[in-house]
Structures are given as structure tokens and as C-alpha cells.
Chain A
């Protein structure tokens, strides 16, 4: 165990290194660039036994990741924003072929107007493509979640790829204290990947064939079943990790903060959850009974856990860092569906788009408006 002050991008690279991926096809894009830089450095220094493929685009990075994963090895890549958008065509190919692998996303908004700053529009736009999505609040959580995510994705009941999402700049470029686990301990927690099927000249198989209308739906249902199995597994792997390494994040799916006796609560994903904890502390001091439900797993979505966590609330104030243009914030849509007919009043705020700060003051304002019975709006 090494305690250090580390930038979150480097922490993700350190986390990935501990998982010993055999192939890393990577293409740098702000704000994820420090990740491939660090991986390259590890390889150059002989600290990491990995094949780094220098690809010509993110589309090629994902294509190479699929090819490498099909040979039965552990794979890793990182991207953000337009890079993730360029990968989009291949995201459902990796998940549909049931190939596990982990990608770090340093969340950045999508153009236009061009912006390098944070919101969740890149990963949430890729939400429906069969990838597990976990969102981390801190540098420490980014390392820990990376290690957990490999174990979840590679479970033979799951066999899906996964994204570990961190807020670009707001987390990716922030230096924090973090504990880096020992290699030997990680090796015990995460043994070598055992593929169920792989490309092997001694036992040939075809991966990625056509499915006719008489079979396509069954394959999609298998993916949905795998997602449903992944949901409790995220919690189980989290608990196992917590027992071994001594760090926990709620139940792995959600983290409840000061929810005891809470009448109102905020929900947030990523770094906004950290700010929300400050807002909650301040409001509790002022006598407002408010708590936080931090969403860690976004796909699969822990709807029953949210329903249970929100059970005794009068109102729930949902913070979305993305908007589904023409409707509303996507997290709000999911939460309102999870709380259907529960009688809990929900409010809905769009915040932090394109790097706009989500401050504790803004979150307190959102909670106060929720208490007043307002429906929400934009936290500009």
C-alpha cells in the first residue's frame, strides 16, 4: 500500500496498471490525455507488460480493443467527448460480442460550441450501448472502481465491457491524496482473465456473425439478462473489495450520505456528489433535514435501491449534468420512473454543462426550491 498525492488521470493509469491489461489501444484526447501518457511511461520504464497500440483515431482504438479482447486478453483504453462519439459505432459491437474490457472516460461535453470542459453528455449519450457505467467521485474511488470493474465485467454471468467515468478537469486534473493498493493484493483480488470464448487457431470459432430476425432478439435479451445479473454483482464485488482493502462507497450502487431522518435529498453523480456533501453539511447545520443519494452505478440502473433509499423523503432534488434535448435530464427520467407512484415529489435541475461550476450555493438553492414545492430549472 502506497499513500500518495496523485492526479486522478494518473490514478486511473495506476489503477489500470495494477489490473495488468495485456493490450491498450489508445488515442489521446483532452481531458483523458494524461492516461495514455502515463501508460506509455509505465511501459517505457519496464513497469508494465502491455502492448500499447498507437492507433490513428478513437474508432480504431475501439476496433483494436475489440480484436484484442476477442483473443481472450484483458484490455484497457481511455477517451472523452468527441473521442467517445467517434467510438460509438463500435461500442455495441464490443458489448454485443460479449467481450469484457474497461475504458476510462474523463467526461467532457460534446461540441458545438466546442468546449473541452466537463459534463456527462458524452458517456450518457452512449448509455444504451450495453456497457456498464460506473461514476467515481474522487481519485481514490477512480482507482478502486477500475479494479472492481474488471472483476464485474469479466464474471462469466456478465461478460460485458464497462466504463469508469470521472469528471474531466474537475476530477481528471485534480491532485488528491490516494492510497494505491499493492500489486500482490490486487493480483489476489483480480486473478488473470479467463475468457469463456476466444479466437484460438487450435479451436476455431467465428465471433461477430450475422443474426437473422429469428435470433437477434434472443441475443439482445441475453445482454439485458447479463446487465440484470451485473447489478447485484457490482454490490458484491464492491463489498468484497471493501473487506479486503478497507474502503467502501455506500453499497457499491448508491452511496447514502446523511440520509438518517432526511426529509429531502439531492441526487448527483461524479464530483457534484462531493460538493453536494458540503451543501448537505451546511444545510444540516442550519437545521434543514437533507441528505444525499450519490449514484455510482448508472448502467445497470439501481432503480429498486433508489426507491428504497428515497422511501421516507418528502422530496428528491435531482441534479443532471446533461440534458436530453427536447425532453429533460436523463437521470431525472430514470429516477422519476424508479419512484413511479411512490408519492415522492421530485424536482429537476440541469447544472454544470460545459464546465460550469456546480457550487454548494447552487445546490442549496436547488434544495430550498424543492422544499418550496418548485419543479426545478436550470442552475446557470
Chain B
């Protein structure tokens, strides 16, 4: 969530990129945890993530973006080597 909320008339958004600013990871109750040792870098998690919350870094490794991941668990389900575990989100 943006720190200071603005209430533009009719909820109109005047600046681009509001979807990026509006962090939605707080909706998550289950957290996917990726074991990089087990990961074979096949990219299935990246391809299946419905929220583009799996990112590929410069080294070709996959990382989960917890700012936007909603914990649906599709990545863990699709992973062919069971490198992703779903853990209860503790806050």
C-alpha cells in the first residue's frame, strides 16, 4: 500500500504505475519458499504464476517477489522437483 492515500475525485488515477505502487503481498496467508539447491531453473513457476510474482534474476535464478505474491500455491504445485514449499505466513 502507498503510505499516504489520495482521494482523487471519482477515484481517478492521474499517474501511471499505480498497480506497481499498490503492494498486494499482504493478502497472502501461505508463503512459497523456494529451495535454490533443488531448483533446476526450468521456469515452470515463472510461466504459471498468475500474478507475475516470480522473477528471473541476471544469474538465471528464479525469485519470488513477496510484494505481489498472493500465496496461491500454483508454483509449488507445478514445480517438477518439489523445490517450492508452502509455509504458513506468520505476522
Contact = CB atoms under 8 A, between A and B. Distances in A.
B7 A99 contact: no
A91 to B, nearest CB: 15
Contacts of B5: 214-215, 218
Contacts of A222: 7, 9
B16 interface: yes
Contacts of B13: 205-206, 209
A208 B11 contact: yes
B90 to A, nearest CB: 23
A282 to B, nearest CB: 50
Contact of A207 (B1, B12, B16, B18): B12
Given A214-B1, A214-B5, A215-B5, A97 B16 contact: no
Interface string A201-222: 0001111110110110011001
B91 interface: no
Contacts of A159: 9-10
A196 B11 CA distance: 13
Contacts of A196: 9
A31 interface: no
A197 interface: yes
B16 A204 contact: yes
A159 B18 CA distance: 24
A218 B4 CA distance: 14
A218 B12 contact: no
B59 interface: no
A53 B7 CA distance: 33
A215 B9 CA distance: 12
Given A214-B1, A214-B5, A219 B14 contact: no
A215 B7 contact: yes
B12 A205 contact: yes
Nearest to B7: A218
Contacts of A96: 10-11
B9 A98 contact: yes
B63 to A, nearest CB: 26
A208 B18 CA distance: 13
Nearest to A95: B10
Contacts of A211: 11
A209 B18 contact: yes
B10 A206 contact: no
A96 B11 CA distance: 8
A174 to B, nearest CB: 38
Interface centre among B5, B11, B13, B16 (most CB of A within 10 A): B11
Contacts of A207: 10, 12
A218 B5 CA distance: 10
Contacts of A214: 1, 5
Interface of B: 1, 5, 7, 9-14, 16, 18
6 contacts: A97-B11, A98-B9, A159-B9, A159-B10, A209-B13, A215-B5
Given A159-B10, A206-B12, 16 more contacts: A97-B10, A97-B11, A98-B12, A159-B9, A196-B9, A197-B9, A197-B12, A204-B16, A205-B12, A205-B13, A205-B14, A206-B13, A206-B18, A209-B13, A209-B18, A215-B11
